[in-house]
Structures are given as structure tokens and as C-alpha cells.
Amino acid sequence: MNKYLLAASILSANFSYLGKEINDVIIAGVDIIHFDIMDNHYVPNLTIGPLVLKSLREYGIKDLFDVHLMTKPVDNLIISCAKAGANYITFHPECSNHIDRSISLIKKYGCKAGLAFNPSTSLNYLDYIIDKLDLILIMSVNPGFAGQKFIPNILSKIIQVRKIINKNKKNILLSIDGGINIKNINQIANSGANILVLGSTIFNNILSYKEIIKQIKTELKQIKYK
């Protein structure tokens, strides 16, 4: 596995030809396809559901699908997304009546489990379930919409989570989502991230997918990994 993995958030893609968009960014060099599933309850937006995942698998896309559930409740969608072809499923602690049970449900259906933290969400949840996680997602914007600016003080939270992972000697991926661009990606990655989720920076760029992803990877190569 690379030190840094790039995830393309399809929330910023053109949905009129989504299968082609995803194939194009995969060919251009992204490692993971990131799905933001929102319910217009937990966050003020309504996006896609498991049927889109299923249709993309049937379209022939075999790469890693990382599903970020911004829904309340989560358990039924965990099952549906797993059956539709998800590889990673991440949810917010506020959205589950029983966090441990939701994590176990993800793993029961053969997926890797992640827990997501909003900018203001306490990391105390990790005290109880870190042993069961495969991924921790730190939101660097308030969830709900694409195209927001990175919140600078989230850098200290990323550093804190990296220290927690290292202290516990766990092989947990640390993913960052929100406002990442060519100007700040170096600093974000150097704070301890493994997965960098990019949406608008890839899909709404004047450069081709191949060109912008090449620039991002060149930037990441300059980092001295801590």
C-alpha cells in the first residue's frame, strides 16, 4: 500500500455519465472511489444510495469503494451498501444507537469499518472502540456540501489522531475529507493522513484528471513521512 492514497469523492462528479467519470479518474491514478451518502436529516443534503453503488459494480468498476454514511440511523444502510459492493463503510458516532454493534455489522457483511468525526466531534469515542476500527475519517469541513474550504485548526486534530493510532500500535488508515487542494495537501498529509479525499479539486478543475492527479502526486512525493 502507498503511504498516501488518493480518494475521488464522486459528489463533485458529473452524474449524467458517472460510470465514465469514475473510470476516467481511476485511469488517471486515484486509488479509491469515495461515496458520500446523505439523507437530508443528519446533514442538510440528499445525495445517493446503495443502488448507485450496485449499478457501478454492474457497470464493471472493480476498484475500492469507500462509503461515508451521513445518515441517521445507519444500520440498514450498512447492510444495503455492503451488499451493493462497498469495501469500506464509515459512519458517524452520533448516528448509531450502538456504535459497537454497527461496527460489528459492517464486519459481518465483509467490509472494513470506519468511524467519522465532524470538526466539533470529540475523539473520546476512540477510547472504547479503536481496537475494532480499520479507518478513521476526520472531516475538515462541516459535512453536507461539496466545495467548502478546509478548516485550518483541523490540522491539530489530525495530528492528535495520528498520535492515538501510533500509541495504540494499530494499522488504522487515517482519512481526511473536505477542502483539500494542491496548496494545502502537503501540510495535511504531513500531519499524519493516509487517505486524502478530493472532490472539487479533481472533478471541477480546469486541468485534465490526469494532469491534476499527477500534480498532486508530485506534491506528495516531496513529503518526508513522519
Show which residues are catalytic: 36, 177
Going by C-alpha positions, the residue among 213, 203, 208, 206 that lies closest to residue 15 is 203
Q: How far apart are CA 35 and CA 48, in angstroms?
A: 8
Q: Report cis status (omega within 30 of 0) of the bond before 73.
A: yes
User: What sign results for the dihedral spanned by CA atoms 145, 149, 150, 151?
Assistant: negative
Q: How far apart are CA 181 and CA 201, in angstroms?
A: 6
Residue 184 CB-density burial (10 A; 0-12 exposed, 13-18 middle, 19+ buried): middle
Going by C-alpha positions, the residue among 111, 108, 15, 110 that lies closest to residue 69 is 111
Q: How far apart are CA 36 and CA 219, in angstroms?
A: 26
Q: How far apart are CA 88 and CA 208, in angstroms?
A: 28
Going by C-alpha positions, the residue among 43, 41, 65, 45 that lies closest to residue 55 is 65
